[in-house]
Amino acid sequence: MARRDQEHDVLPIPNGWFAVAFSTDLRVGDVKPISYFDEDLVLFRGRSGEAKVVDAFCPHLGAHLGHGGRVMGDTIRCPFHGWQYDGATGQCTHIPYCERIPPKARVRAWDVQEKNGMIFVWHHLEGKPPEWDFPVQPEIGHSDWSEPRTFELEVPVHVQDMHENNNDPVHFQFVHGMMETPPSEIEFGEDGRYYRIVSHSEQVTPVGTFQTSLIRDSWGIGLSAVSTTGIPNAGLLMYSSTTPIDATHTHSRWLLTATNNMVDVAGEEFMRGITAGVNQDMPIWSNKVHRARPVLCEGDQYLAQFRKWTRQFYSTDHPADD
């Protein structure tokens, strides 16, 4: 039996921090309907400059706040009858034709934080508050580093399958044309949410050939930073978030920056290399199934460790437990 729908193990949507927009895509007063985590949401930037995310549908008669809703101070006003909801608490703060506000007049307000050029929300299937944080990436916005370039794409694959790529050194040889599978090491952060895998290889660059390390940092399944060390006085950073649209579609956002001294000689090649790399992965992602219990061999130890680490980010039934 080899039909895609029969072979595919459905993974739940994981918990964690996930980007829902680039910061530059949301100006003060902007209101955007967004769909992530299999839910309809609205994203807006209040007058104080803070980004907010609330559930899309008005508790009154159910209008979608993201289609015609308006920012009023730090609230969003429903387009249908003008009820206003505070972006931080979700509580209705004003009904234009009525004094008394029903206590049930509130929408769910999501935990939001904005850093590293992206707007993140905390998603937890059971509604638990944020359980960990992730760091500011010092390269982004630093004067020695280039203005970040961005790109984004949607991929018909579960978010974990995309993230797994970083932790799969063997595929670099077969999908991305590396000469051999690079030796790698893994380390975990104290709280267990952070994971680093480092691969070592010789890199031919426009400024010479070097022994380099490719460092992939992950904070949960939604967020990773890939950086290179070993090229003197130069650095590259690919910061990315993979966000579940639903259990089988992922929105991936990338923010790319390099040290200024690299940009003139290698900036374009760097950009082209990244987009070409993602394109090489696309046919695999778009057609694969997820195997909750893959057949692994001894050489797959990084994949086995990655899979084990990811289990903490699922709070409901996991197909590997069936």
Examine residue 151 and tell whether it contacts ligand FES (CB under 6 A).
no
Examine residue 101 and tell whether it contacts ligand FES (CB under 6 A).
no
Residue listed under structure tokens 């967004």: 34
Among residues 80 and 151, whose Cβ is nearest to ligand FES?
80
For residue 82, the minimal CB distance to ligand FES (Å) is 6
For Fe ion, the binding residues in 180-239 under the rule CB under 5 A are none
How many CB atoms are closer than 10 A to CB 17?
25
Of these partners, ligand FES, Fe ion, none, which one is at the site of residue 115 (CB under 5 to 8 Å by kind)? none
For residue 84, the minimal CB distance to ligand FES (Å) is 9
Among residues 12 and 82, whose Cβ is nearest to ligand FES?
82
How many CB atoms are closer than 10 A to CB 59?
16
How many Cα atoms are found within 13 Å in the side-chain-facing hemisphere of 241?
22
Examine residue 281 and tell whether it contacts Fe ion (CB under 5 A).
yes
Going from the C-alpha of 129 to that of each of 11, 55, 100, 116, the distances in angstroms are 22, 16, 30, 21
The structure tokens listed for 181 are 């599978």
> Which one of 23, 32, 80, 186 is in contact with ligand FES (CB under 6 A)?
80
Residue listed under structure tokens 């921090």: 17
For ligand FES, the binding residues in 81-100 under the rule CB under 6 A are 81, 83
3-class DSSP state of 82: coil
Backbone angles phi, psi at 195, to 5 degrees: -145, 135
**Where does this chain touch ligand FES (CB under 6 A) — which range of 39-47, 53-61, 178-186, 292-300?**
53-61
Backbone angles phi, psi at 266, to 5 degrees: -130, 0
Examine residue 186 and tell whether it contacts ligand FES (CB under 6 A).
no
For residue 83, the minimal CB distance to ligand FES (Å) is 4
For residue 87, the minimal CB distance to ligand FES (Å) is 15
For Fe ion, the binding residues in 149-178 under the rule CB under 5 A are 165
> In angstroms, how far is CA 271 from the centroid of its own chain?
19
Residue listed under structure tokens 């020695």: 144
For residue 284, the minimal CB distance to Fe ion (Å) is 8
Residue listed under structure tokens 């952060």: 189
Among residues 91 and 312, whose Cβ is nearest to ligand FES?
91
> Which one of 10, 61, 98, 296 is in contact with ligand FES (CB under 6 A)?
61
How many CB atoms are closer than 10 A to CB 249?
17
Among residues 55 and 161, whose Cβ is nearest to ligand FES?
55
Tell me which residue of 182, 149, 156 sits closest to 281, measured CA to CA.
Answer: 156
How many CB atoms are closer than 10 A to CB 87?
25
> Which one of 54, 56, 71, 78 is in contact with ligand FES (CB under 6 A)?
78
3-class DSSP state of 298: helix
Among residues 103 and 208, whose Cβ is nearest to ligand FES?
103
Q: What is the contact surface with ligand FES in residues (CB under 6 A)?
A: 58, 60-63, 78, 80-81, 83
